[in-house]
């Protein structure tokens, strides 16, 4: 309603301005009516202007395009037309849903089932007049939700800082004048001028181009910029084939152009991806599911206690209401209010540790999710690779070979002569020097601040010259003429002469081998030009094919006095190479049971070359194209995608299809990417990881995690962190439940059997403090075990309360109950309970608690393996609890409060020896498990690895149609 009213008001004002502007002096009423009719006609014409889909626009002639969009290609739109079109099509931006207010984000933290269960128990405590319990539970809940909210809010702020970019601008022709505007102001039909370095503001149909190269890697995954034309296309294929259309968000690398806006905002290709992303919902994390299940289990446990107490009371003829009150009180006490605090603190510490490693985590549970991740789907360009073309291989015309180290345009790295590995500089090797010199001279690129202005392949040749200390070699030449590169001739040449020397002109040429070799009659051999034989040509052709089959883009270089009499200098192999550390990360992930799949829009050869380079699936690659993906039914797709390691020529829809198919097959999928084409998959994956520097805004918005330094290897740290967090939560649950079951059992037994209560109210409160306080909390900050990365990913269906954990909880509880009851029986005189009886029983229980906490530091490793001093916080909290217990026993004011009395040294030694039994038995059980289960574990590991290996090796020749 508001928008409609605003539009009408806007329209009225526009009419007024238009009428006033064109109203002639002394006009009569009929003339005014004529003007009004003209205005209405113009408005009707503007209303009929619609956005043109790229596949329709590419087939339109310029005249048809101008007619369809109602624009004069020489003068552009009028301001009035712009206003009318903006009313219809809106601003050139995306309508993101309004951000939630802070208070709503805070209240959302209360939706956790465990938090709701705690709030219910607090309410019950108030009803039963247990106000101390109600206050302690309420405080615990407030701490949890506040800590979680603050951490997530901080992560959002970090992301906002990362996304603070200069708003894109453009050069637009309106009313015959070239204007500099914000990209959001553009409307369909606007004429846009493009030049090097410009970000395309909207989808454009090109009407004029001069050597225009556009980097579409964020859309298509292609590392190489696309050659653009202004000629009409007869057939409209895939968006990657639309050579006369440029898309919003892409980057002009070279040349210049002029185009008509055919789509803005959500009606652009960028907008299509954005709408798909908005439609996708982020799935719940495995930890959230585990916590939900635990909440339900504890609720059932609580109702079970209430039922049992009421049954026993009814059988003994006691008043049912009083028994119900006791049962509810015990059930409330059984719910571990410290658990949400430990989970939150553990996750926050994980997030903070990741922040130190330059990883922003948006939502707390996401940290743990990577511990379950068993498939990582990764984009290639900009994620596994740096999206920086780099020369990696040189072959000279006289047969010398050299390899090049270093990635990107910073000039860092060396050229090594093979096989001696001698480092080459300047003209220390004349053949290599001449080859590098030619690449530097026949070049229009400039490198500034480690980024290339111009074609990336030419930038790679300049970077090569920098490594050889020949970057200034082109300055000794004066360029007289340039024959530019074209897609038809496939080569470029420059005519130069040396400065301050009266020598004949020299041509330098670079291009496709089969074209360049036709202009050569000689070849260089150690600085001497020799006649080129057919055998030599065949040898070069074979080398060029070999380099091309390994995914390299091959350029041939030549020089000479005339174009028909050039001297062939050699071949240069260029590729967008893998980032540093990616190969090692992929290897470690593979060994730990995580399958890494490459999903790219690039060609098969390039994808396979990078896949082999980074050791994807130990080099045993199976590939599948987006086209083949479309031909498979949903059920067939789920079984097929597991066997494929490389998906090439994929669109955003294909990436989404792959993620969904893997999830249906039961995989926990992580997606890493940086482009617009990755955004939908990033949002639908269980965990989306975007690149902080190379990543587009839309990919960072869709992701759950952002690698600030674009370092893929930090994913390993995140997986390690995720696995460690889950183990720490299990350790805490074991400790707290075994302690609370022991305390409840003592009280329940005494109530049911009409025995005197072994512990008074203040002593139970002190035990609760230890149960939920520092010793318990410190289990959540146990440092991540370095062996966790080697463990296979945990199964999503694994609950926190597994069968083995429940058995260990009851084992510890039985030992604690038996030991405490033994002390109570031993110290209980016939005359009745004395302060010594309760002091011995109370101290025995606390000591059991502390020894239980010590053994709960790990479920599988002995204390001597993890080390006594590794978790300093645990040591301090246990020491603090021990000193606190001594204070309760020996300080008179506290003796009166807790109704205790002094104990002798022998008493303390006896209690220490007895309480250590829970630690000794638990450690013995771990030792037995290690001894008995080792063969089974090894067999299990081999089976798991065998499955992985089989999965990678399973032939998909019949299914895929692409066998490598």
Q: Are strands 669-673 and 375-378 parallel, antiparallel or unpaired?
A: parallel
Distance of alpha carbon 355 from the chain centroid? 14
CB burial class (10 A; 0-12, 13-18, 19+) of residue 722?
Answer: buried
d(CA 204, CA 248): 8
* Beta-bridge partner residues of 172: 179, 192
| Alpha carbons 913 and 747: distance in angstroms, whole number | 24
- Give burial (CB, 10 Å; 0-12/13-18/19+) of 704: buried
User: Buried b vs exposed e over 235-267: b needs ≥16 C-beta within 10 Å?
Assistant: ebeebeebbbbbbbbbbbbbbebbbbbbbbbbb
> CB of 540 within 8 A of CB of 571?
yes
Backbone angles phi, psi at 262, to 5 degrees: -110, -15
Cβ atoms within 10 Å of 793's Cβ, excluding its own: 22
Q: How far apart are CA 139 and CA 116, in angstroms?
A: 14
Contact 895, 825 (CB under 8 A): no
Helix/strand/coil percentages in the chain, nearest 5: 55, 15, 30
CA nearest neighbour of 259 among 235, 218, 230 = 230
- Angstrom distance (rounded) from CA 397 to CA 23: 77
Kindly report the length of the chain.
Answer: 964
* Element holding 395 (H helix, E strand): strand 390-396
Q: Give me the helices (H) in 474-632, please.
A: 513-516, 534-549, 582-591, 604-613, 626-631
Burial of residue 172, with CB atoms counted within 10 A of its CB: 0-12 exposed, 13-18 middle, 19 or more buried: buried
Q: Which residues are bridge partners to 687 per DSSP? A: 670
Distance of CA 592 to the CA centre of its chain: 19
Q: Tell me how far apart the alpha carbons of residues 284 and 111 are, in angstroms, rounded to a whole number.
A: 13
Which member of 133, 190, 198, 379 is catalytic? 379
487/258 Cα distance (integer angstroms): 20
According to DSSP H, which parts of 614-693 are helical?
626-631, 634-640, 652-664, 679-684
Contact by Cβ (8 Å): 758, 841: yes
Residue among 784, 794, 749 nearest 308 (CA): 749
In whole angstroms, what is the distance from residue 642 CA to residue 731 CA? Answer: 34
Query: Rg of the chain's alpha carbons, rounded to an integer?
Result: 37
Give me the residues paired with residue 453 across strands.
446
Q: Is 798 an active-site residue?
A: no
Return d(Cα 645, Cα 599) in angstroms, integer.
Answer: 8
Say how far apart CA 583 and CA 379 lie, in whole Å: 15
Measured torsion, CA atoms of residues 294, 295, 301, 302, in degrees rounded to the nearest 10: 160
Angle between helices 338-356 and 286-315 (to 10 degrees): 170
The CA-CA-CA angle for residues 710, 289, 922, to 5°, reads: 95
> Are the C-beta atoms of 391 and 621 separated by less than 8 Å?
no
Where are the alpha helices (H) located in 357-411, listed in sequence order? Answer: 366-369
Q: What is the dihedral of CA 282, 284, 285, 289, to 10 degrees?
A: 180
Could you tell me if 364 and 167 are in contact, meaning their C-beta atoms sit under 8 angstroms apart?
A: no
- Residues annotated catalytic, as ranges: 379
């Amino acid at each position: 309603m508001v928008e409609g009213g605003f539009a009408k008001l806007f329209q009225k004002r526009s009419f007024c301005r238009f009428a006033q502007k064109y109203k002639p002096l002394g006009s009569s009423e009929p003339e005014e009516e004529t003007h009004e009719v003209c205005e209405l006609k113009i408005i009707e014409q503007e209303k009929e202007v619609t956005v043109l889909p790229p596949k329709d626009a590419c087939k339109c002639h310029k005249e048809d395009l101008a007619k369809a969009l109602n624009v004069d290609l020489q003068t552009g739109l009028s301001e009035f037309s712009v206003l009318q079109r903006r009313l219809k099509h809106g601003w050139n931006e995306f309508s993101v849903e309004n951000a939630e207010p802070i208070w709503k984000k805070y209240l959302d933290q209360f939706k956790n089932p465990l938090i709701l269960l705690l709030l219910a128990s607090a309410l019950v405590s108030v009803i039963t007049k247990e106000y101390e319990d109600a206050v302690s539970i309420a405080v615990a809940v407030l701490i949890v939700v506040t800590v979680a909210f603050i951490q997530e809010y901080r992560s959002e702020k970090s992301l906002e800082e990362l996304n603070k970019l200069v708003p894109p601008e453009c050069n637009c022709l309106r009313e015959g004048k070239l204007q500099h505007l914000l990209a959001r102001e553009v409307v369909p039909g606007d004429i846009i001028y493009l030049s090097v370095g410009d970000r395309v503001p909207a989808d454009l149909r090109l009407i004029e181009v001069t050597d225009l190269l556009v980097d579409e890697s964020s859309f298509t995954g292609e590392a190489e910029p696309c050659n653009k034309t202004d000629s009409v296309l007869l057939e409209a294929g895939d968006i990657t084939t639309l050579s006369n259309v440029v898309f919003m968000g892409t980057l002009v690398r070279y040349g210049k152009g002029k185009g008509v806006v055919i789509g803005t905002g959500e009606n652009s290709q960028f907008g299509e991806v954005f709408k798909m992303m908005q439609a996708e919902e982020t799935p719940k994390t495995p930890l959230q599911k585990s916590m939900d299940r635990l909440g339900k289990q504890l609720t059932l446990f609580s109702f079970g206690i209430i039922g049992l107490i009421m049954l026993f009371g009814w059988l003994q003829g006691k008043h049912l209401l009083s028994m119900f009150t006791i049962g509810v009180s015990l059930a409330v006490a059984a719910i571990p209010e410290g658990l949400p605090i430990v989970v939150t603190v553990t996750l926050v510490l994980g997030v903070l540790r990741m922040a130190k490693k330059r990883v922003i985590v948006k939502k707390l549970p996401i940290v743990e999710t990577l511990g379950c991740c068993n498939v990582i789907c990764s984009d290639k360009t900009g994620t596994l690779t740096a999206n920086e073309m780099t020369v990696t291989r040189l072959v000279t015309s006289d047969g010398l070979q050299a390899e090049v180290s270093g990635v990107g345009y910073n000039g860092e790295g060396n050229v090594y002569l093979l096989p001696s590995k001698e480092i080459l500089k300047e003209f220390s090797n004349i053949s290599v020097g001449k080859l590098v010199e030619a690449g530097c001279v026949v070049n229009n690129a400039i490198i500034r601040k480690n980024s290339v202005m111009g074609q990336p392949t030419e930038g790679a040749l300049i970077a090569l010259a920098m490594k050889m200390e020949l970057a200034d070699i082109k300055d000794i030449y004066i360029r007289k003429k340039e024959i530019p590169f074209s897609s038809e001739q496939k080569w470029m040449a420059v005519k130069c002469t040396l400065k301050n020397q009266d020598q004949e002109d020299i041509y330098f040429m670079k291009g496709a081998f089969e074209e360049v070799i036709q202009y050569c009659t000689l070849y260089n051999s150690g600085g001497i030009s020799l006649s080129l034989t057919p055998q030599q040509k065949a040898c070069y052709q074979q080398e060029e094919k070999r380099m091309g089959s390994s995914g390299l883009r091959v350029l041939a270089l030549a020089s000479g006095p005339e174009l028909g009499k050039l001297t062939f200098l050699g071949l240069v192999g260029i590729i967008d190479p893998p980032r540093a550390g990616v190969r090692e990360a992929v290897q470690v992930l593979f060994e730990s049971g995580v399958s890494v799949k490459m999903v790219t829009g690039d060609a098969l050869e390039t994808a396979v070359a990078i896949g082999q380079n980074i050791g994807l699936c130990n080099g045993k690659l199976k590939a599948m194209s987006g086209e083949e993906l479309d031909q498979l039914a949903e059920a067939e797709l789920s079984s097929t995608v597991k066997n494929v390691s490389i998906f090439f020529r994929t669109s955003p829809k294909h990436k989404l299809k792959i993620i969904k198919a893997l999830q249906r097959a039961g995989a926990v999928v992580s997606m890493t990417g940086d482009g617009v084409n990755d955004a939908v998959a990033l949002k639908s994956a269980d965990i989306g990881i975007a690149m902080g520097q190379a990543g587009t805004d839309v990919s960072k918005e869709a992701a759950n995690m952002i690698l600030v330094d674009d370092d893929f290897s930090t994913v390993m740290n995140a997986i390690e962190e995720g696995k460690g967090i889950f183990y720490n939560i299990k350790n805490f649950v074991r400790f707290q439940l075994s302690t609370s079951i022991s305390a409840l059992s003592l009280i329940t037994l005494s109530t049911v059997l009409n025995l005197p209560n072994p512990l008074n109210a203040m002593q139970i409160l002190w035990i609760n403090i230890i149960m939920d306080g520092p010793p318990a909390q410190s289990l959540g900050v146990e440092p991540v075990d370095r062996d966790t990365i080697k463990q296979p990913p945990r199964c999503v269906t694994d609950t926190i309360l597994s069968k083995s954990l429940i058995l260990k909880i009851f084992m510890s509880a039985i030992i604690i109950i038996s030991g405490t009851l033994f002390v109570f029986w031993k110290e209980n005189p016939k005359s009745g309970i004395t302060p010594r009886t309760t002091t011995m029983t109370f101290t025995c229980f606390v000591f059991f608690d502390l020894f239980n906490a010590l053994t709960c530091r790990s479920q599988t490793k002995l204390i001597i393996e993890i080390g006594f001093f590794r978790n300093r916080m645990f040591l301090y909290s246990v020491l603090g609890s021990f000193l606190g217990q001594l204070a309760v026993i020996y300080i008179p004011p506290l003796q009166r409060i807790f109704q205790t009395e002094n104990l002798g040294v022998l008493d303390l030694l006896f209690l220490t020896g007895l309480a250590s039994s829970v630690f000794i038995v638990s450690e013995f059980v771990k030792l037995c498990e290690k001894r008995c289960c080792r063969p089974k574990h090894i067999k299990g590991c081999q089976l798991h690895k065998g499955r992985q290996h089989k999965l990678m090796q399973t032939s998909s020749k019949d299914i895929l149609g692409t066998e490598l």
